[in-house]
Amino acid sequence: MNKNNKKTVFVGMSGGVDSSVAALILKRRGFEVVGIFMKNWSKNIEGVLNCSAQEDERFARDVAFQIGIPIYSWDFEKEYEKRVFDYFLKSYQNGLTPNPDVMCNREIKFGLFLEKALKMGADYIATGHYVRLIRKINKNGNKINHLLMAKDKNKDQSYFLWTLNQEKLKYLLFPIGNYLKKEVREIARQNNLITFDKKDSQGLCFIGKMDFRKFLAYYLPPKKGEIVLVSKNYQDGRVIGYHNGIQFYTIGQREGLNIGGGVPYYVVNKDGLTNTLYVATKENLNNFFNKKIMIENLNLIEPSLIFPLKCQGRFRYRQKLYKTNLELLPNNYAKVIFKDVPTSIAPGQSLVFYQGQKMLGGGIISSRVL
């Protein structure tokens, strides 16, 4: 699809301001730009979810017309349901705390989208992610790609990209990583893009904004279970209340437990087999969280790291960085030792590692205990 020796880039256009400006920037840099709208979810659920896919596609097409680029729609809905949504539901059903945005990036945006774009002649794909990509030549003359936090630390999305690798990064562009969000909106405004004041999307990746509790309840019906107060271990507890399903709670949660008694309780564990929710008071939290945890599915983007590795880690988006030590184990497992006890860490979450601005990679927090 190259014309006049221009490099061709397929841009994932979601109908939002970030991907709109990403496409505009790339065209101005001299690329042959093709817009792609990914159809991944189209279901409406009355009273729970009003899918915005049709409206988003209209925005994406209108922006493409404004910029003067072609745009196509690619339907990945079946693959999204099988590879991302089923994983999301199964994880919650088993008492885990998954991150569907991470899986969506791995399977859809930088999986199916990348594969199809390259087959159709693209030199690169691009998205509106807030992250910086630096390409350097190492001492052996090899090109190395480094992922760095975005200039806008409040919007930085490097946390969601830990499943990438050097092979995929060769084909990726992140045009807005060096801009603040307000600068992106100003570029859109100055160029009369209709998305300049469109609100940021919220909710699950490609699904949109919804009442999350109602959404989960639609797919995972409420099921009554015991709330057990524990102090030192899971055998010393007593029942102090009841819940309607462990899928509606997260580790570390304090609000919304409806236990009463005037004492604040925190969720410390969820047992998917018995549908039991375990809680503890603040003074006992350290009895249920450990400085040492195991992660699985370890993926390291940065080459030539020396282990054990001193770095920083976070297990939630925009969370503070914890000081950690990372030790490799067989079969893509790793041991992580925190300097301070992480008293809200949960199996299923993504733990992502950094050194300064550089994102090193990450893994899934395992339910296995060291």
Among candidate residues 22, 53, 41, the one with its CA nearest the CA of residue 79: 41
Catalytic-residue membership of 205 = yes
- Of the listed 117, 131, 205, 311, which one is catalytic? 205
CA distance 22 to 128: 6
Catalytic-residue membership of 104 = yes
Among candidate residues 129, 152, 14, 135, the one with its CA nearest the CA of residue 71: 14
Helix intervals (H) in 10-99:
17-28, 53-67, 77-80, 86-93
CA distance 317 to 129: 14
CA distance 45 to 15: 22
In degrees, rounded to 5, the angle at the alpha carbon of residue 146 between the alpha carbons of residues 141 and 149 is: 160
Lookup: tokens for 270: 């969820």
Do 210 and 49 form a contact (C-beta atoms < 8 A)?
A: yes
Rounded to the nearest angstrom, the gap between the alpha carbon of residue 122 and the centroid of all alpha carbons in its chain is 25
- Of the listed 104, 117, 257, 351, which one is catalytic? 104
Pairing of strands 8-12, 32-39: parallel
Bridge partner list, 229 = 238, 279
Q: CA-CA distances (angstroms) from residue 185 to 79, 175, 188, 267, 321?
A: 32, 14, 5, 39, 28
Active-site residue numbers? 104, 205
